């Protein structure tokens, strides 16, 4: 059974450490359910009930992406920021160019800090002439728990989160790494490499991972 939410990430890295980053939330599996909900909605629903329907949900994602776009445009070393809001495919996200890995780390930290004022900044990526390292995921299990707690009216307990994890256990976080030069070695055994060695795909079921277990991958050139 596929999850209603899946995360997709794409990183294109040039030899000089600059590149393009894309992060999207794929909710396409939700679309049939949302359309059915709309069709079943009674014409006598109050304006407030209609406001809380599917269209309001997509509008919220649109608004969130626009706010993140404005935030990223203020980060040094980040350019060409695009908000991705595709209501046809139910895909929402962001795409931007970064001048170096430091700028990329700053951008991801800025977005996470916007969502959680208690967020502690961290290093997501490291880069050198001979290697590129993924230290941690942009959105991991602990951060998902934080976000779900903030969306809820009540604080989410460990038991609540465990039940949520069982319900959405197949939620995936898929990253596609694209490089200008072929990769010689990868530390992650889950990695799938293209024949030319320039594209690597890694899929993680983040809710089934132990906290701190996912994310770390080193690429050697």
pTM of the predicted structure, to 2 decimals: 0.78
145, 171 contact by CB (below 8 A): no
58-105 pLDDT, tens digit per residue, is: 677 788 889 999 999 999 999 999 999 887 888 899 999 999 999 999
Phi, psi of 8, deg, nearest 5: -125, 135
Are 25 and 172 in contact, with CB atoms under 8 Å apart? no
pLDDT of residue 198: 98
Q: What is the pLDDT of residue 146?
A: 55
Torsion of CA 185, 191, 195, 198, to 10 degrees: -60
DSSP 179-210: ESS---EES-TT-EE-TTSSEEEEEE-GGGSP
Contact between 219 and 131 under an 8 Å Cβ cutoff? The reply is yes
Please give the pLDDT value at position 164: 54
Q: What is the pLDDT of residue 28?
A: 78
Distance CA 214, CA 11 (A): 17
Nearest Cα neighbor of 105 from 21, 178, 176 is 21
Instruction: State how far the Cα of 163 lies from the Cα of 171, in Å rounded to an integer.
Output: 14
Q: How far apart are CA 143 and CA 153, in angstroms?
A: 17
Name the DSSP class of 71.
H
* Mean pLDDT, each 10-residue run in order, the chain (221 residues): 75 97 85 56 52 60 88 97 88 96 97 83 94 85 53 55 54 92 94 97 74 73 95
- Give the whole-angstrom CA distance, residue 165 versus residue 63: 27
State the pLDDT at residue 172: 84
- 190 φ, ψ (degrees, to nearest 5): -80, -10
DSSP state of 28: G
pLDDT of residue 1: 42
Q: Can you name the CATH fold of 6-27+62-220?
A: Immunoglobulin-like (2.60.40)
């Amino acid at each position: 059974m596929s999850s209603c939410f899946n995360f997709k990430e794409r990183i294109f890295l040039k030899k000089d450490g600059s590149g393009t980053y894309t992060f999207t939330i794929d909710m396409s599996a939700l679309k049939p359910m949302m359309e059915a909900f709309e069709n079943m909605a009674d014409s006598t629903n109050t304006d407030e009930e209609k406001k809380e329907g599917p269209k309001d949900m997509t509008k919220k994602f649109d608004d969130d992406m626009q706010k993140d776009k404005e935030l990223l445009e203020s980060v040094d070393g980040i350019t060409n920021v695009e908000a991705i809001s595709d209501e046809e495919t139910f895909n929402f996200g962001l795409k931007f160019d970064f001048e170096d890995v430091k700028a990329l780390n700053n951008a991801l930290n800025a977005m996470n800090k916007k969502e959680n004022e208690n967020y502690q900044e961290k290093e997501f990526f490291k880069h050198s002439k001979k290697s590129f390292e993924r230290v941690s995921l942009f959105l991991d299990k602990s951060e998902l728990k934080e976000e779900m707690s903030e969306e809820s009216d009540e604080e989410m307990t460990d038991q609540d989160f465990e039940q949520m994890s069982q319900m959405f256990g197949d939620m995936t976080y898929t990253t596609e790494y694209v490089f200008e030069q072929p990769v010689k070695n990868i530390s992650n055994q889950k990695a799938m490499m293209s024949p030319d060695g320039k594209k690597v795909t890694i899929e993680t079921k983040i809710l089934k991972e132990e906290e701190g277990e996912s994310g770390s991958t080193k690429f050697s050139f």
